[in-house]
Structure formats: C-alpha cells, structure tokens
C-alpha cells in the first residue's frame, strides 16, 4: 500500500515536472538571437529621479564605436561581453557562472521599456544581489556611450514595423 502511494507520488512528480518544463519551453523566444527572451529580472529600479534622466549624447558612429570598445574589451573591472556576450545576448563566456544570468540585450521585452536613466544607473552602481559590478571608474560620457551601444543590440521583431495602436509595451513607470 505504502509503496503504491510512493510510486504514484513519483508519477505525479514526474508528470508535474514535465509539464513545468513544457511551460518553460513554451515561453516566447522571438527577438532574441539566443539566451532567454523574456528573462526574469532581479535588478531593482533606480530611484525615479535617476531613471528619468535621458541620454545627453547623440546617436552617432563615434559614440557607438566608443561604447562598443568599452563593452567588448576595455571596461574595467571586466568587459561587459564576458558576461553579456559579444552580441549582447546574455551568453558571454562567464555567463553560466552566475545566477541570476546576465541580461539579454537583444531581447526587446527585456530592453525596450527600460529607461536610459535606468541603464546608466545600473552600469554606474551595479545591481545588488547579482554579479553585475559597479563601473564607477567610467566617466558619465562613457556610461552614456555604453547605453547607446546596448540599445543598438536590440533585435527588433519584424512585426513591430506595423504598429498596432493600443499595443504599446507597458512602460516601467
């Protein structure tokens, strides 16, 4: 009798865990070149006064190049690509070492509604409770250049070109 109960609870466990896996697999994975999209997020929101700052720099080739250089190789203590990946998809060489995983910036659901000031704040101060370090030696201009570059990594879904009124992504504020 007891073993039947044990067996059936195992069966139940297997059934419920496989439907859990199915549920995970059925998450939308569009607009990401790889990595999870959308992703759960641990990072807290910056104080509203900081998050509402807008990027003072122009979106031009020299600012994007400077952001790329920092992201891919020169930022200290560690280049962003080590964790966020060369394409910004969250799959850098060190990514699997960390829980929560680094953000996937190619994913519109992760990045589109994130204010510039939030991106700036987290780069400058880090994200408490995650492996995201504070890059407090970078100048403000360098952090804004990184912000421009991160936004350029987003892979926009083709369907966003035909905007449906009323279907705008909810803002975080």
CB of residue 25 to ligand HEC, shortest distance in Å: 20
Q: What are phi and psi of 27, to 5 degrees?
A: -60, 145
Other beta carbons less than 10 A from residue 139's beta carbon: 8
Is 133 or 157 the residue whose CB approaches ligand HEC more closely? Answer: 133
Whether 61 and 148 have beta carbons less than 8 Å apart is answered as no
Question: In the complex, what is the shortest distance from the CB of residue 129 to ligand HEC, in angstroms, rounded to a whole number?
Answer: 8
One-character DSSP codes across 106-121: TBHHHHTTS-HHHHHH
8 Å CB contact between 43 and 102: no
**Residues ≥6 apart with Cβ < 8 Å to 35:** 85, 89, 90, 91, 101, 104, 106, 107
Instruction: Provide the β-strand partners of residue 155.
Output: 107
Q: How far is the CB of 168 from ligand HEC (least distance, A)?
A: 19
What are the residues binding ligand HEC (CB under 6 A)?
41-43, 71, 75, 78, 80, 82-84, 94, 98, 100, 102-103, 114, 118-119, 122-123, 127, 130-133, 135, 146, 150
Cα dihedral 81/31/112/167 (nearest 10): -170
Residue 110: CB minimum distance to ligand HEC, A: 7
Give me the least distance between CB of 3 and ligand HEC, in Å please.
43
């Amino acid at each position: 009798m007891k073993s039947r109960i044990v067996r059936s609870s195992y069966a139940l466990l297997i059934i419920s865990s496989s439907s859990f896996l199915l549920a995970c697999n059925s998450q939308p994975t569009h607009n990401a070149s790889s990595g999870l999209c959308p992703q759960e997020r641990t990072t807290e929101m910056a104080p509203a006064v900081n998050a509402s700052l807008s990027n003072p720099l122009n979106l031009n080739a020299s600012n994007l190049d400077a952001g790329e250089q920092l992201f891919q190789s020169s930022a200290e203590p560690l280049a962003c690509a080590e964790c966020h990946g060369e394409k910004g998809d969250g799959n850098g060489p060190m990514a699997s070492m960390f829980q929560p995983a680094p953000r996937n910036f190619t994913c519109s659901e992760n990045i589109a509604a994130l204010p510039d000031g939030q991106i700036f704040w987290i780069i400058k101060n880090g994200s408490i409770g995650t492996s995201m370090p504070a890059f407090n030696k970078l100048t403000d201009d360098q952090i804004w250049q990184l912000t421009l570059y991160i936004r350029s990594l987003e892979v926009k879904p083709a369907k966003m070109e035909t905007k449906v009124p009323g279907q705008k992504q909810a803002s975080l504020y």
